[in-house]
Structure 1
Amino acid sequence: MLKNIWSSKCICLNTKLRIFNSNVKSVLLYGCETWRMVKSTNRKLQTFINTCLRRILKIRWTVKVPSEEIWRLTKQEPIDTQITRRKWEWIGHTFRKPASNTTRQALFWNPQGKRKRGRPRSTWRRNTDDELKKWGTTWHELQKTAQNRVRLRMAVDGL
C-alpha cells in the first residue's frame, strides 16, 4: 500500500523514513519485547526491513549494496539491536512497577512440571539470562539499576 509513497519524487527521503519508522516499523515490532528471539525470526524481520529500505532508496535487487551501507544511509540499526534495546527498556519499566503487579510477577514465574524429551526450547527467559551473563550482571543488580531511569538508560545505550 505504501508503494506509491516510496516511489514518489515529491516526498523527500527523510519524510519517507519517518513514515516508515512510525507506520511500518512500529506495527511490525509491536510487542517485540516479549518475543523469544530465534535466528529465523530475526532473519525474516531484517529481510523485510532491508527490502523496505531498498525500495525507499530505489535500489534495485540486481544492484549489490551491503546491508550495512543501507543502514548507514538511512540511519537505521540492525533489528536485533532495536529489539534488545526495547526489551531492556520494557524490563526496566516493569521493575519499577509495584511488587504485586502481575507483569512484574511474570518475570520471575517458573513453570512446574515435566517437559518433553529432547533439547529444551529457547525461551524468552533463557535468552534474557544469556544476555545478562554477557553483561556480567544478575537479575537482582538489574532490579536496583532499573529504579534509576538514567542509569538504566545508560546501560541499555551501552548495548
Structure 2
Amino acid sequence: MIFNVLNPQPVQIDETILPFTEKFTYLGSCVTPDGGAKDDIINRLGKARTAFRMLNRVWKSQQYKLSTKIRLYRSCVLSTLLYGSECWRMTDQDLSKLSSFHTKNLRKIARIFWPQRISNEELLEHCQQESIEKILVERRWKWIGHVLRKSQNAIPRVAVQWKPE
C-alpha cells in the first residue's frame, strides 16, 4: 500500500486525534508508506529461523530420510517464511536474502558442509527442490488464479482488474 505521506490528514475519533505512524502491523504484515516489503521480509526471516531452529534435532538426526526432512522443511519453515509473499514488492536484495536463507537451510538439512563444495543448482537438484524465485512465482500465479475465480464484485478481483483513468 502506498499512502499520501506528504500531507497526512489527522484522524479524529470523538475528541481524540490519533497519532500518525510511519509503519504498522496489520494481519501479520508490516504496512509502510512506500509499499515495500523489506520490513515484512525481515520479520518473516526471523520467524522462519525460529521455526528452523526448533527442528534442529530432526535436521541432525540420521533416523529420518532426506525426503522426510524436506517435506517437514517445506511445511513448517518455508510456509512460515513465505506467508503473504504473493503480494510482496520484491527487490533483488530481498530476493537474495530469501534465496541465501533457503539454500543455507537446505545445506544443513542435506548435511553438506565445508569443505564439500557443490553449487546451489546441484544442491537444489540433490534435495529435489526449486529455487526460491520459482516458488515465489508459483505462489503468485496460484494467488492470481484464486482471485480471478472469485465473483465479479469481490474486492480482491476488482482491485486486480482495476484500470486507472
Moved over 4 A (4+): 109-112
Question: Which ranges in structure 1 are unaligned for 5 or more consecutive residues?
Answer: 113-159
| Structure 1 residue 19 corresponds to structure 2 residue 19 | no
Q: Read off the aligned partner of 1:8 and give its amino acid letter.
A: S
TM-score by length of structure 1 reads 0.65
Report matched runs for 1:38-117 at 5 Å. 38-109=91-162
Counterpart-to-counterpart distance in 2, 1:56 and 1:74: 9
Percent of paired sites with the same residue: 39
**Number of residue pairs aligned between Structure 1 and Structure 2:** 112
Letter in 1 for 2:105: C
The one-letter code matched in structure 1 to 2:106 is L
Aligned-partner residue type, residue 136 of structure 2? I
So what's the TM-score if we normalise by structure 2?
Answer: 0.63
| Structure whose residues are more often strand by fraction | 2
Q: Secondary structure at the match of 2:141?
A: helix
Distance 2:131 2:109 in 1: 17
Shift of the 5–105 alpha-carbon distance from structure 1 to 2, 3 Å rule, reads same
CA distance in 2, matches of 1:110, 1:44: 33
* Structure 1 residues 62 and 110: alpha-carbon distance in aligned structure 2, compared to 1, 3 A threshold: farther
Post-superposition CA distance 1:96-141 (Å, at most 9, x none): 11121111122144689xxxxxxxxxxxxxxxxxxxxxxxxxxxxx
One-letter amino acid of the structure 1 residue matched with residue 147 of structure 2: T
Q: Gaps spanning 5+ residues in structure 2: where?
A: 1-53
| Distance (whole Å) between structure 1 residues aligned to residue 119 and residue 150 of structure 2 | 42
User: How many Å apart are 1:61 and its aligned residue?
Assistant: 3.8
Structure with more of its chain in helix, by fraction: 1
